[in-house]
Amino acid sequence: MAVRTVVPFGPQHPVLPEPIHVKLELEDERVVGVVPIIGYIHRGIEKAGELNTFRQNVNITDRICGICSFIHGIGFSQGMEKIMNIEVPKRAQYLRVVWGELSRIMSHFLWIGLAADAIGFESLFMHVWRIRERIINIFEETTGGRIIFGTCQVGGVRKDIDNETLQRIAKELTEIEAEYKGIAAIFTDDYTIQHRWQEVGFLSKEDAYKLGAVGPTARASNQPQDIRMLKYGAYADLDFEPIVETAGDCYARAIARIREISQSIDLIHQAINKMPAGEIAAKITGNPEGEFFSRVEQPRGEVVYYLKANGTKFLDRFRVRTPTFANLPALLQMLKGCALADAPAIILSIDPCISCTER
């Protein structure tokens, strides 16, 4: 009879940047059971959302996650705008797309660099993050921040980008894409990466659907699920299709993110070319009353905001379900039956954000 051993993985691990914590039950070197442990960095953000005014809550949502802070702001603002019947100016909607897709690019570059470092490609990690720095410089120029931007607000955005700067951004992105494609070829063609990731951490199309996987984790398992296809905001005027891979393994999840970077650059070009003139924020009067589920697409997948207002400036309920939280059941499925040595790669392949998960 095989001896079973319980090995704690995390909350600190040299491969992973996030304080994720799971208990792995092993038979020899094979994982046969997984127990996730969450709450290690719980911050009480949802309770804070009920204690602050609805206008102040955008600043809280920005801080749920530093990598996708702007899209958190979109999710909350969109929910409040629906409750209050606020019509967001077209220019603000397009600016949200520009900053939102820049956030997606920044997040995917971060993940690709960390994945390269985890496999041992330290120089590749440095090159990817060198390119990522150019995206952060665009954020700094247009918002004043490098990680937390404070630019989204209920009714629109707080800052504008003049058309000359938008054209410079478009040119910069064209140069970034050309440089990035050479680096991306390493991920797609390198034997070491293929050997390390292919047929590892398999998630079937059926399991991805049944377990509620979202984002690139689901799309790499042939689930064409992308909340942007609901055509919220300016996405109604832009042309794109979900990036789908079929293999359902760690390698497919990497390729999906690599392809999404080019898609996001294309979406930004479309938004800049179609950018309308006009105001960037609608005037807000009164207090909200009602409830709404707001859904937007984060770099890691669908984020849901449930907002319930009572006619005052404070909310009765402020609830957030983040994509990593949704992907945890799928992660447990991927880990069962894997070798212990593959566990870090599988966990990293869902691009976990534990600060998002635990809020």
Between 184 and 110, the higher pLDDT residue: 110
Note the pLDDT of residue 232. 94
Domain count, the chain: 1
Can you give the pLDDT at residue 2? 66
| pLDDT number for residue 74 | 95
* Mean pLDDT, all residues of the chain: 90
Range of the domain at 204: 42-358
Q: State percent of the chain over pLDDT 90.
A: 64
pLDDT at 71 > cutoff 90: yes
Residue 34 covered by a domain: no
Summarised one tens digit per residue, pLDDT across range 83-113 is 999 999 999 999 999 999 999 999 999 999 9
Question: What pLDDT score was predicted for residue 16?
Answer: 66
Residue 118 has pLDDT above 70, yes or no: yes
pLDDT at 344 exceeding the cut of 90: no
Question: According to the model, what pLDDT value does residue 28 have?
Answer: 85
22 found inside a domain: no
Task: Work out the end-to-end distance of the chain between its first and last CA atoms, rounded to an integer number of angstroms.
Answer: 42
Residue 339 lies in a domain: yes
Q: Is 28 inside any structural domain? A: no
Any idea what the CATH number is for the domain that residue 209 is in? 1.10.645.10
Residue 7 within any structural domain of the chain: no
What's the 3-state SS for the chain? CCCEEEEEECCCCCCCCCCCCEEEEEECCEEEEEEECCCCCCCCHHHHHHHCECCCHHHHHCCCCCCCHHHHHHHHHHHHHHHCCCCCCHHHHHHHHHHHHHHHHHHHHHHHHHHHHHHCCHHHHHHHHHHHHHHHHHHHHHHCCCCCCCCEECCEECCCCCHHHHHHHHHHHHHHHHHHHHHHHHHHHCHHHHHHHCCCCCCCHHHHHHCCCCHHHHHCCCCCCCHHHHCCHHHHHCCCCCCCCCCCCHHHHHHHHHHHHHHHHHHHHHHHHCCCCCCCECCCCCCCEEEEEEEEEECCEEEEEEEEEECCCEEEEEEEECHHHHHHHHHHHHHCCCEHHHHHHHHHHCCCCHHHHHC
Q: What pLDDT, on a 0 to 100 scale, did the predictor assign at position 343?
A: 87
**pLDDT (tens digit, 9 = 90+) per residue, 211-260?**
999 999 999 999 999 999 999 999 999 999 999 999 999 999 999 999 99
| pLDDT tens digits for range 151-181 | 999 999 999 999 999 999 999 999 999 988 8
**23 pairs with which residues across the strands?**
8, 35
In a domain, 37, yes or no: no
Q: Is the pLDDT of residue 14 over 70?
A: no
17, part of any domain = no
Q: Is the pLDDT of residue 61 over 70?
A: yes
Residues 100, 214: Cα–Cα separation, whole Å: 18
- Quick one: CA dihedral 340, 344, 347, 350, positive or negative? negative
Q: Which of 30, 36, 27, 32 is nearest to 9 (CA)?
A: 36
Residue 15 has pLDDT above 90, yes or no: no
Write down the pLDDT at residue 10. Answer: 73
Per-residue pLDDT, 13: 65
In a domain, 23, yes or no: no
- Percent of the chain scoring above 70 in pLDDT: 97
